[in-house]
Structure 1
Amino acid sequence: MTVEFRPATAADAREIARLFQITSEGASDYIWSQLAEPGEALLDVGTRRYAREGVDFSFQNCLIAEAHGEVIGMMHSYAMREDPNPTPATDPVLAPYADMEIPDTLYISSLALHEGWRSKGLGLRFLESAQARAAAMGLKGLSLIDYAENTGARRFYERHGFSVVKTCQITPHPMIRVTGEAYLMQLLS
């Protein structure tokens, strides 16, 4: 079966949000719950969020994998830059991640494939695309956050040259589906 990779369009925003829900282990739902209008479904918030233009969390920073016209996966990434005026994180669930950033890297905020499309080399193709994008942008490599409980993802990233550079403790919350540590991982170019 042929898999094509293409830049996302605004019409992909809902599928991007669905795939974020898979990889974020509840973190995206938690964030979207803070942004939701009364009665608004979380998936609708995510769709609205990724339909925007000119911001980090936009379809414009997403690469789609498609087979027979159906989205089977995506990678969302954006340039992580030094914030000259950082605002302290006050949200107790998100605060541990406040210093889990590596400036001047391409931050992979999500790499997701629907069940049945994993372990077919598509994740590596996404990473190769991310490395090319980082090089074209003059960035010094790739970074991402992974969860200790997600041992399969950690093994995948380590197999492809990523290493853990920092850890933080996940703040328990009913919407967050993992506990323990989160890892900041980096791949230098």
Structure 2
Amino acid sequence: MNVEFRPAQRSDAREIARLFQITSEGASDYIWSQLAEPGQDLLDVGAIRYAREGVDFSYLNCLIAEAQGRVIGMMHSYAMRHDPTATLTTDPVLAPYADMEIPDTLYISSLALHDGWRGQGLGVRFLQHAQARANELGLDGLSLIDYAENIGARRFYERQGFSIVKSCQITPHPMIRVTGEAYLMHRP
């Protein structure tokens, strides 16, 4: 089946949020719960977040994979830059990730495919697009965070030239679906 890769559009924001929920193992829901109004659906919060412009977490930083007119996957990435004025979060769930960054890389915050589309080489194609974007922006490779429990994803990234450069302990929370360690991975 023919799969087309295209830049995301604002109208994709809800599907981007839905796919982000797949890869974040509950972290997106946790973050969105902190932003939600009482009774507001978390997916609605995510969709609003990705419909924005001028911020890292925007549809403008997403690449969509589409087959037969349906979104089947997406990759969200942005240039990770050192910001000396940034304040570190004190949120106990998010604080361990505060220094899990490699400046001047293209940070892949999400690469997700719907069930039935995995194992078909689409992840490799997404990474090829990411590398081309990193080269275009003059960045030093790709970086991402993966969870130790997600052995299949880690093996995939290692086969694609990524290596673990740092780890942190995941803070347990009822909304977070993984435990153990999170790995910062880099491919120069």
Shorter-chain TM-score tier? over 0.9
Find the residue that maps to 2:175 and give its secondary structure.
Answer: coil
Query: 1:72-118: per-residue Cα shift (whole Å, max 9, x none)?
Result: 00000000000111212200000000000000000000000000000
- The answer as to 2:134 corresponding to 1:134 is yes
Question: 1:46 — aligned with what?
Answer: 46
Q: Equivalents in 1 of 2:10, 2:38: separation in Å?
A: 24
Tell me, yes or no, if structure 1 residue 67 matches structure 2 residue 67.
yes
Q: Which runs of 4+ in 1 moved over 6 A?
A: none
- Counting only pairs closer than 5 Å after superposition, residues 174-189 of structure 1 correspond to structure 2 as 174-188=174-188
- Corresponding position of 1:83: 83
Aligned to 2:105: 105
Tell me the number of residue pairs that the alignment of Structure 1 and Structure 2 aligns.
188
Distance 1:88 1:147 in 2: 21
TM-superposed deviation, 1:16: 0.1
2:54 is matched by which residue type in structure 1? G
Matches within 5 A, 1:86-165: 86-165=86-165
TM-score (norm 1): 0.99
Partner Cα separation in structure 2 for residue 156 and residue 6 of structure 1: 23
Q: Please give the per-residue CA displacement for 1:111-166, whole angstroms capped at 9, x wherever unaligned.
A: 00000000000000000000000000000000000000000000000000000000
Q: Which amino acid aligns with 2:85?
A: N
Secondary structure (helix, strand or coil) at the match of 1:167 reads strand
Is 1:25 the counterpart of 2:45 in the alignment?
no
Match of 2:56 in 1: 56
Structure 2 counterpart of 1:11, which letter? S
Instruction: Note the residue ranges of structure 1 that are not aligned, 5 or more in a row.
Output: none
Query: Which amino acid letter does the alignment assign opposite residue 46 of structure 2?
Result: G
| Structure 2 gap segments, 5+ residues each | none
Using structure 2 for the length normalisation, give the TM-score.
0.99
- Structural RMSD (CA): 0.4
The amino acid that maps onto 2:113 is L
1:51 partner amino acid: A
- Structure 1 CA distance, aligned partners of 2:94 and 2:142? 21
- SS at 2:71 equivalent: strand
